[in-house]
Amino acid sequence: MENIYLGFIVVLFLLAISDLIVGVSNDAVNFLNSAVGAKAAPFKWVMFVAALGVLVGATFSGGMMEIARSGIFHPDKFYFSDIMLIFLAVMITDVILLDAFNSLGLPTSTTVSIVFELLGASVAVAYMKISNGAEPHLISEYINSGKALAIISGILLSVVIAFSVGALIQYITRLLFSFNYEKRFKYYGGIFGGLAITAIVYFILIKGAKDAAFMTKDAYAWITTHQPLIIAGSLVGFTALLYGLNFLFKLNILKVVVLAGTFALAMAFAANDLVNFIGVPLAGYESYKTLLATQGADPDFFTMGSLKESIQTPALFLVMAGIVMVITLYTSRKAKTVIKTSVELSRQSGGEERFGSSPLSRSIVRASINVSDSLSRFVPEFLKEKARKQFEPLEIDKEDKNPPAFDLLRASINLVVSSALIAMGTSLKLPLSTTYVTFMVAMGTSLSDGAWDRDSAVYRITGVFSVIGGWFVTAFSAFFVSFLLGLFFYFGGVYAVGIMIVLSIFLVYRTSKMHVKKELKREESSKELEEMDADNILESCTKNVNNILSQTQFEFKKTISGLSEENIKTLKKTLKNVEKLTQKAKERKNSVTIVIGKLKDDAIESGHFYVQALDYAREILHSLNFIVTPTFDHVNNKHKSLSEPQLSELKLLSQHLGNYFTHISTDIGDKNFNNQEALAAEQQKVLGLIDLFRKNEVKRIKKDSNSTRNTLLFLTILQESKNLLLYAFNLYKAQRDFLGYYLSKQKIEK
């Protein structure tokens, strides 16, 4: 029996490593988004500073581990065998849940997940113990409801506090320094930096060091006794140091603050959230040690009151966990995906928005505009004008292919405020969600900075609500899945645990593989966009156009074939392919301002032809979509098959249209536009064929030989096929004009 539980302990530690990997991949956004978004330093240096902070902060986690041992449930009410089942259910749920959020690119809270997983699994096991017990008991005797409520309240409160404090501090800071802050920072930058770094030192050292694994009572007593001296010394020392470095070496003070804040926030993250990853396995390990130390102890009847005792976590475990975190930071693709979501929602510039609009976000924007207009009537004009100048963003450097998402001033406020709030929560042993705090601070500062203007506000607010909604999903999913696993393990025992371990490995592997594939495509698209300039815009456009024409021809042929054979699998695959093509064309159109912005003034005409080609390409895909979608619906709903004459005509149309698209695509690829008259004649021939088929259908309607649905689908395909022919020829002529302009420009340059 002991061997089985030893195996469980080994599994718990293996799950802890997996949990560290998937957890850090999600939580990396908490301390990297500001430095990455503001481009405070090369990425490798940002990663080095963050990694150092994680390693140092890992030793600050010693006093937080009791949350996993006795924070949610009363361990003395459970037997050792019950505790093992609870901990296994929690860890497996956590790995699966966090990996799913990483794949979606959504930041979630590892604190919320671990709290609700512990709650769900312990409720499940407690419920079974009550059901099987001889004496009646209440669930409250097993669950530490007061502690759980305090933890949840602290987490929810952190959302409100973080957003409000972030917005207020950023508004005051921007009023003082504006976006054009460089001149004022020559005089006041040292004071600002000194205050910021002093705040970091105060909250991290004084408030967070009490429970550090390396901190002795005497050392901490000295620190607390000399607080005023430490604060005053830090303020004077850091201010003088920053002024001196700026004067002697022209050091950018804000970059120092951002990197210091990144270090502090990474340290606060490790100190506050490490319990979420290794607290449960360590609690299981301590339980197993207690069982072995008690002679004759029966796992099925040995109560775990020992978990209530305060136990100092060995520093070796903390350092090893920190090393795993650092390795994950450098290697995780999913971490970059999650960071991108946070940066996009807080970026200062416009562009394509990841999220759509919603009725709630539109209502909030309308209400905010009305309130702002009403309040502005009572503010003197000169104050409004002064405030407007302070909040007027600087122009973006068009030569910069990858500009910062926001400036260093906002990044420094994000980090200082977030690290201060999280360190305070750590010192109070209240597991404030690092994700909630950092994300909401970033949203608050972006709101104060005017990043959510009337062109982007509804989309950004929808994005914020989507992320917050995901947090509630986290809580519900964590409780529900952990509850079910607790029941499953209670009845299934070792076999149930084995099944879930295999299943979790499969799910993580599958999502990782899908994510890598998705990210490679996204990186390829981004790279193509970054490399596009006046010299290769024609080549890129030609490649894109040819791809769309060949794909359209292929998918049209598959659609007619699927309709003829009533093959729902073929049509479903075709529909997905067309949706992907349409989405990619939409992304290209949304990024058109970025492409044109990179063109030189003497090449601006290229932008006109590029936009024209994109418009015709999108129209072609829209027409194709209007063919594929109703065809799929027709077959999927099991409507009557098209008649033989209808199918014969559509097959003939598919053949002619395919030949026409092949000729256009070949000429565009070869940059040979001498066959325009022949193509025009071929187009008229196919258009005449479409008119003939339409007349034939009218005759069939007169004879009442076809059903209404068949007729409508047939006529729809004919009409959209006509549009395909017209837009394809317009695209051909647009590419001809583009090439003509490009060649004439080359002659002039020579």
Structure letter (DSSP) for residue 377: T
Asked if residues 28 and 238 have their Cβ atoms less than 8 Å apart, the reply is no
What percent of the chain has pLDDT above 70?
84
Task: Measure Cα distances from 491 to 197, 361, 487 in Å.
Answer: 54, 46, 6
**Kind plus residue range of the DSSP H or E element containing 348:** none
Q: What is the DSSP letter of 139?
A: G
How do residues 613-630 score in pLDDT, each as one tens digit? 888 889 999 999 999 999
For residues 151 and 167, which has the higher predicted lDDT (pLDDT)?
A: 167
> Mean pLDDT in the chain?
81
Burial-class residue 507 by CB neighbours within 10 Å (0-12, 13-18, 19+).
Answer: middle
| Separation CA 203–CA 416 (nearest Å) | 10
CB count within 10 Å of CB 257 equals 28
pLDDT at site 111? 74
* Cα–Cα distances in angstroms (integers) from residue 445 to residues 255, 346, 407, 417, in the given order: 18, 8, 11, 10
Grouping H, G, I as helix, E, B as strand and the rest as coil, residue 31 is helix
Query: DSSP letter at 205?
Result: I
Per residue in 698-717, pLDDT tens? 888 877 766 688 889 999 99
Specify whether the CB–CB gap between 50 and 31 falls below 8 A. yes
User: What sign does the CA torsion over 703, 705, 709, 715 have?
Assistant: negative
User: Are 92 and 39 a contacting pair, CB within 8 Å?
Assistant: no
In the predicted model, is pLDDT for residue 682 greater than 60? yes
Indicate whether 30 pLDDT > 90. no
Phi, psi at 303, each rounded to 5°: -75, 150
pTM for this predicted structure: 0.73
pLDDT at 340: 76
Dihedral over Cα of 388, 390, 391, 393: its sign: positive
Return the H-helix or E-strand segment holding 206. Answer: none
pLDDT in tens, 268-321: 777 766 766 787 888 888 888 888 888 777 888 888 777 776 666 677 777 788
- pLDDT tens profile 109-161: 777 788 888 888 989 988 888 887 645 567 777 887 676 676 667 667 777 88
170 vs 401, more confident: 170
| Backbone phi and psi for residue 504, each to the nearest 5 degrees, phi listed first | -65, -40
The torsion angles phi and psi of 707, rounded to 5 degrees, stand at -75, 160
pLDDT score recorded for residue 708: 80
CA 149 to chain centre: 29
Residue 618 structure tokens:
């999108």
d(CA 496, CA 352): 46
In this structure, are residues 510 and 102 in contact, taking their beta carbons and an 8 Å threshold?
no
Residue 102 near residue 337, CB atoms below 8 Å: yes
Q: Which helix (H) or strand (E) holds 689?
A: helix 676-702
Kindly state the tokens that stand for 654.
């598919």
Burial of 348 (0-12, 13-18, 19+ CB in 10 A): buried
CA atoms within 13 A on the CB side of 68: 33
Short-list 204, 154, 192, 90, CA closest to 485: 90
747 against 585, higher pLDDT: 585
CA–CA separation, 571 and 561 (whole Å): 9
- Is residue 357 classed as helix, strand or coil in its secondary structure? coil
Instruction: Tell me how far apart the alpha carbons of residues 147 and 150 are, in angstroms, rounded to a whole number.
Output: 5
pLDDT value, residue 689:
93
Which tens digit of pLDDT belongs to each residue from 420-470?
A: 777 676 566 665 667 778 888 988 899 888 888 777 888 888 888 887 787
As a whole number, mean pLDDT of residues 43-69 equals 73
What is the distance of C-alpha 483 from the center of its chain? 27
DSSP alpha helix (H) spans, 250-314: 253-293
Residues 481-496 have a mean pLDDT of 90
CB 43 within 8 A of CB 274: no
490-508: per-residue pLDDT in tens?
888 888 888 988 888 888 7
Three-state DSSP state, 532: coil
Residue 408's pLDDT band (cuts 50, 70, 90): very high
Q: Which of 145, 192, 138 is nearest to 169 (CA)?
A: 192
Q: Which of 275, 266, 323 is nearest to 29 (CA)?
A: 266
pLDDT in tens, 172-216: 999 989 888 888 888 888 999 999 898 878 767 765 565 565 667
Residue 399: the pLDDT is: 61
Give the helix ranges, DSSP H, for 391-456. 408-427, 434-448
Would you say the C-alpha torsion 496, 497, 500, 501 has a positive or negative sign? negative
All residues at 6 or more sequence positions from 726 whose CB lies less than 8 Å from its CB, including other chains: 683
* β-bridge partners, 79: 303
Among the residue ranges 249-258, 516-525, 644-653, the one predicted with the least confidence is 516-525
What CA–CA distance (Å, rounded) separates 115 from 152? Answer: 8
In order, the DSSP letters of 733-748 are HHHHHHHHHHHHHHHH
- DSSP tally for the chain: helices H, then strands E: 24, 0
Taking residues 650-668, report their average pLDDT.
Answer: 91
Question: pLDDT digits over 534-547, tens only?
Answer: 667 778 888 888 88
Question: Which domains are assigned to the chain?
Answer: 2-522 (no CATH), 532-749 (1.20.58.220)
Q: Which pLDDT band holds residue 727 (cuts at 50, 70, 90)?
A: very high
Question: Under 8 Å CB-to-CB from 468, ≥6 apart: which residues?
Answer: 159
Residue 64: per-residue pLDDT: 47
Cβ atoms of residues 286 and 307 within 8 Å = yes
With contact defined as beta carbons under 8 Å apart, do 111 and 434 qualify? yes
CA distance 668 to 399: 31
